[in-house]
Structure 1
Amino acid sequence: MTLSTRVITLKCRPEGVVDVNNFEIKEIDLVELQCGEILLRTVYLSLDPYMRGRMSAAKSYAGNFEVGEPLIARGVGEVILSESKAFTAGDLVVGMMKWADYSVIKHPETLRVIDVNKTPLPNYLGPLGMPGLTAWVGMKNIGKPKVGETLFVSAASGAVGQIASQMGKISGCRVVGCAGTDKKVSYLINQMGLDAAFNHNVEGDYLAALRRCCPEGIDINFENVGGKLLEAVLEQANDNARFVQCGVISQYNLPHDKRFGIRNIEHIHRKRIRMEGFIVGDHWDRLDEFISEMMVWLNSGAITYKLDITSGLERAPVAFIAMMGGGNFGKTLVQVDDEP
């Protein structure tokens, strides 16, 4: 019996802002399993800003998506059939998979078996997944927070920002964040326990907002937004500040000639600032160490995490577009099918 599946492909490369016309949903037949392969039913897909770079033709650290081919994301799935000795039907796994209802995984050794009894499945794509590891590596390796320091996190209610902010609180920092709506700002203060926060879509003067919220300056900046906000943070940064350069989501949808150029970069040497970028994929060897510590924080309530879950594979493009425009509230996931 031939099994068919829906799959979402990249129809054409976006020029500027991504829209629904860049995606196409198709119905395809799946090939029979070969030795070592598994058939996977997708349960959740993780949508993340780095995917925007993969949609363009420009060189990307993660490799480009091909026009006409299925899009790929980290996801949680259930093994339906297995020709691999390492997996059995019913196993729940996390790893890279297609934007599809079902996928034949030719190299299942890249997947990791997970346990729903330890934590809810969505957590494996959020606080215990790539966003959590990103925040953890950035704070541990570059931020290196100390008691009494001021940490500023842009997009603090986002997938990575939530974890970075709360790691700062655990470390004894004064934590300040920004987000794109008043509702998100309220969440940062009242649910996540930040010391101060502001709405970056309302504040007309970022530097004034930072001076108000960070009167003693900024010792650590966890950068997720970029643009004019980054310029203001450089202005308010203290000597020897550490800048964790995680992303610049405000610039991803803009053509290169429309992107904002930082005009006060001289502060990096004048203030002896350490500004360092990193790629989370370089740190998968620390996954077990990370999960062990993060699980303790989650179980103790030291870290809470908000998810923004959209139901239905067909709605994945709309969810991705909303995320890129700041329309999400928390970590963006798509629930493709019911949990087992």
Structure 2
Amino acid sequence: MASDSEVVVNNKQVILKHFANGAPKESDLEVKTSSISLKVEPGSNAVIVKNLYVSCDPLMGNRMKNLGIPGLSYTLESPLEAFGVARVVDSGHSELKTGDLVWGAVGWEEYSLINNTQSLFKIHHTDVPLSYYTGILGMPGITAWAGFYELAAPKKGENVYISAASGAVGQLVGQFAKLMGCYVVGSAGSKEKVEILKNKLGFDDAFNYKEEQDLNGALKRCFPEGIDIYFENVGGKMLDAVLQNMRNHGRITACGMISQYNLRQPEGVHNLMNIVFQRIQMKGFFATDYFHEYAKFLEVVLPLIREGKIIYLEDIVEGLENAPAALVGLFSGRNVGKQVVVVSKD
């Protein structure tokens, strides 16, 4: 029973109704309403936040499956979790006060009780759109920055290829590479996205992988001298083709393989011996591996945004009730840019 000072409100949520079997479906999810107290327990280190924006990310589709890996799969009848932007409603944490803006791991719901406050970053810079903290200034931005600058170790003039190049991460990697003076090519899944890569984001070239009968031939056309850096977002047949086109001592940075997420049997990769022949380095990583460098990341990226040297494309959907369709749409390429859901505007 609520105390006199306690406020209990309705809390719209998107919960996992069924584990996904293959590609996620809207019917695997359900929008329902529960209740939540807006006061933290006395002595708690937790915070309660009102969610403003939540992110749609490809990895969420994997987490909707019963993977048998503790902590990775979502819990049935519970809200999905994702990165989001929120305002603190009540706090037991000494460094987070009521009214503070934060980004980090939240539930797909109107209000979230967060016990693991280490997963939250206070937002100090509000001269940029708050939604950017789900993208360019959040997890995708750190992924692009760390994967390109820290892992790929780029040099001016190198040849850079990015798959899923119009997505939340790929669009940034391409722009970072152009700022380095690299030759940059991206692939995407529609004519519209290819035009955006070339005419809006400044890529040197781009192609629609769905229209290419021979991915190996497409890459040889774009990179007659081979690829120095491949930023891997797709996997499968694309990775196989890339391995045939890497230069000696090339680097492959792998942050995702979206083509494989919904296959019951992942595709085999046949050209792995090229890693030996070309002395290729291939390394996977999570953005969370670099969260401790967030301040360093902001020092690089914030000025680029403010000076108009980098742009960020967002695909924004209004309302939690539309979040399931937005998430499912990621896997058919429905979105253009970073997919974001507006939960609340206040």
TM-score range, shorter chain: over 0.9
Relative to structure 1, the CA distance from residue 2 to residue 117 in structure 2 (aligned partners, 3 Å threshold; closer, same or farther) is closer
Tell me how far 1:53 sits from its aligned partner.
2.1
2:338 corresponds to:
331
Structure 1 residue 30 corresponds to structure 2 residue 69: no
Structure 1 residue 247 corresponds to structure 2 residue 253: no
Structure 1 residue 47 corresponds to structure 2 residue 56: yes
Structure 1 residue 113 corresponds to structure 2 residue 119: no
1:21 corresponds to:
27
SS at match of 1:322: helix
Distance 1:169 1:175 in 2: 7
1:158 corresponds to:
167
2:4 corresponds to:
none
2:148 corresponds to:
139
2:3 corresponds to:
none
2:13 corresponds to:
7
Post-superposition CA distance 1:45-78 (Å, at most 9, x none): 0111111222222255962211111111111111
SS at match of 1:30: strand
Distance 1:53 1:226 in 2: 15
Post-superposition CA distance 1:141-171 (Å, at most 9, x none): 2211111110000011100101111111111
Q: Judge conservation of contact 1:169–1:175 (CA < 8 Å) in 2.
A: yes
1:193 corresponds to:
202
2:138 corresponds to:
129
TM-score if structure 2 supplies the norm length? 0.93
Structure 1 residue 203 corresponds to structure 2 residue 212: yes
Distance 2:71 2:238 in 1: 26
Post-superposition CA distance 1:11-31 (Å, at most 9, x none): 111110110111112211113
Distance 1:155 1:109 in 2: 31
Q: 2:72 aligns with which of 44, 52, 63?
A: 63
Distance 1:218 1:155 in 2: 16
Relative to structure 1, the CA distance from residue 268 to residue 83 in structure 2 (aligned partners, 3 Å threshold; closer, same or farther) is closer
Distance 2:279 2:23 in 1: 36
Amino acid at match of 2:326: A
Post-superposition CA distance 1:108-136 (Å, at most 9, x none): 45322214533110111111110010011
Post-superposition CA distance 1:86-117 (Å, at most 9, x none): 33332211111111011223344532221453
TM-score if structure 1 supplies the norm length? 0.95
Distance 1:62 1:230 in 2: 28
Q: 1:176 aligns with which of 185, 208, 226?
A: 185
Q: Judge conservation of contact 2:215–2:238 (CA < 8 Å) in 1.
A: yes
Percent sequence identity over aligned pairs: 39
SS at match of 2:260: coil
Relative to structure 1, the CA distance from residue 131 to residue 236 in structure 2 (aligned partners, 3 Å threshold; closer, same or farther) is same
1:308 corresponds to:
315
Aligned residues: 337
RMSD of aligned residue pairs (Cα, Å):
1.6
Q: Which runs of 5 or more structure 1 residues have no equivalent in the other structure? A: none
Tell me how far 1:82 sits from its aligned partner.
3.5
Q: Judge conservation of contact 2:62–2:262 (CA < 8 Å) in 1.
A: no
Post-superposition CA distance 1:294-334 (Å, at most 9, x none): 11211122211100111100111110000122111001110
Distance 1:319 1:261 in 2: 29
2:267 corresponds to:
260
Distance 1:115 1:84 in 2: 17
Q: Judge conservation of contact 1:38–1:82 (CA < 8 Å) in 2.
A: yes
1:86 corresponds to:
95
Q: Judge conservation of contact 2:186–2:197 (CA < 8 Å) in 1.
A: yes
Relative to structure 1, the CA distance from residue 205 to residue 213 in structure 2 (aligned partners, 3 Å threshold; closer, same or farther) is same
1:224 corresponds to:
233
Query: Please, which moves more after superposition, 64-73 or 36-45?
Result: 36-45
Distance 2:225 2:155 in 1: 15
Distance 1:154 1:60 in 2: 28
Distance 2:166 2:49 in 1: 32
2:106 corresponds to:
97
Amino acid at match of 1:69: S
Distance 1:270 1:289 in 2: 36
List, as ranges, runs of 4+ consecutive aligned residues in structure 1 with deviation greater than 4 Å. 59-62
Tell me how far 1:172 sits from its aligned partner.
1.1
Q: Judge conservation of contact 1:12–1:67 (CA < 8 Å) in 2.
A: yes
Q: 2:282 aligns with which of 275, 278, 283?
A: 275
Q: Judge conservation of contact 1:53–1:60 (CA < 8 Å) in 2.
A: no
SS at match of 2:296: helix
Query: Please, which moves more after superposition, 275-284 or 185-194?
Result: 275-284
Q: Judge conservation of contact 1:9–1:25 (CA < 8 Å) in 2.
A: yes
